[in-house]
Amino acid sequence: MISFPNIADLPTTPFSGTDVVRGVECATSDGDGPGRVRVEVDGKPDVLAFYGAASEGTPDDPVIFLRGDAVEKRDDAVVANEWYVAATAYDVQALAEQFSATFHRPYLHLARPGILGSTGHHLDRRRPREVALVDAALTRLKAHFGWRRLNLVGQSGGGHLVAALIARRDDIGCAVITSGNTAVAQRNRENGWTADITGHGDFLDPIDHVAGVAHHPPQKIIVLTDPHDQRVSASVQTAYVEALRRAGVAVDHRLLPASGRLRHDLQLPGILAALTWLASERRM
């Protein structure tokens, strides 16, 4: 049965960098459970891991976080990022519980396919199946926990997912996109790539789907950008913001310095932006 994980049951050993590059197949016996939700797309199942908590007496709708990509190219080889091979399931759950308890709101970190305990192939990200898997997992989690609306935060590749999801879902309260790869084709052109690190050209490009957002916009869209981002350029992020505005969608676009050598990490400000906006809505 689907439930939040028990932190005492989670491993304190780091996730496998080999698995994130190779992919993790879904076994026929894999199914729902604590921190696990099984979904099927195109006739093939996967089980997505999730971490989180809901403090007692918090009926509010959740903040759901989607992390950025877990691999990079190093010496012409695709390898796991440093943050990924240092991460543990225990630490991901501990941080989720901290946010939930501090802000007295359900908080959930949904692991994208192929990383952080989910089955699937992370190198197939940005393609329609990744979006569909995450979409299906959100629908199942919403029904199971009885949530009315969802509030999404996505960093980098997770921001790509949030942008794709708000074009197809009509139940989003606040959507925060930080350092998001939201204009994939433009980013590829800027870097002179025929395809990015995934090697795939059949990506879903959120900038092409802003009309879907306009049909059922979230209550609030916040985009956070470092003007000097060296992984996903500010021009890529701004192009998406401008496309949304041309479609009649209001966007709160904030420019701020990101942490890290590449000026790319804005996940904490993104989570806090969503929680702060929701707290202000609660007081109204």
Assign 194 a pLDDT band (cuts: 50, 70, 90): confident
Sequential DSSP letters for 10-68: S--SBPPHHHHHH-BPPPTT---BBTEEEEEETTEEEEEEEEEE--TT--SPPEEEE--
pLDDT, one tens digit per residue, over 92-130 is 999 999 999 999 999 999 999 999 999 999 999 999 999
The pLDDT assigned to 283 comes to: 64
The pLDDT assigned to 58 comes to: 61
Q: Once rounded to an integer, what is the mean pLDDT over residues 29-51?
A: 96
| pLDDT for 134 beyond 70 | yes
pLDDT, one tens digit per residue, over 196-233 is 888 888 999 999 999 999 999 999 999 999 999 999 99
- β strands within the chain, DSSP E: 36-41, 44-53, 63-66, 71-74, 77-80, 107-110, 150-155, 172-178, 220-225, 252-255
| pLDDT for 59 beyond 70 | no
Contact 221, 249 (CB under 8 A): yes
Angle of helix 234-246 versus helix 184-191 axis, rounded to 10: 150
| pLDDT for 83 beyond 70 | yes
The pLDDT assigned to 201 comes to: 87
Contact 282, 245 (CB under 8 A): no
| pLDDT for 284 beyond 70 | no
| pLDDT for 144 beyond 90 | yes
Q: Once rounded to an integer, what is the mean pLDDT over residues 25-48?
A: 96
Tokens of 123: 């190198």
pTM: 0.96
Contact 149, 180 (CB under 8 A): no
Tokens of 32: 């729902």
| pLDDT for 23 beyond 70 | yes
What's the mean per-residue pLDDT of the chain?
95
For residue 44, list its beta bridge partners. 41
**DSSP 3-state assignment of 275?**
helix
Rounded CA separation 103/84 (Å): 26
Closest CA to 65 of 147, 216, 182, 177: 177
Q: Are strands 107-110 and 63-66 parallel, antiparallel or unpaired?
A: parallel
Rounded CA separation 132/162 (Å): 12
What angle is formed at CA 106 by the lines to CA 104 and CA 111, rounded to 5 degrees?
140
The pLDDT assigned to 200 comes to: 85
Rounded CA separation 240/228 (Å): 17
**DSSP 3-state assignment of 78?**
strand
| pLDDT for 164 beyond 80 | yes
Share of the chain above pLDDT 70, in %: 98
The pLDDT assigned to 76 comes to: 82
The pLDDT assigned to 57 comes to: 62
Rounded CA separation 212/221 (Å): 14
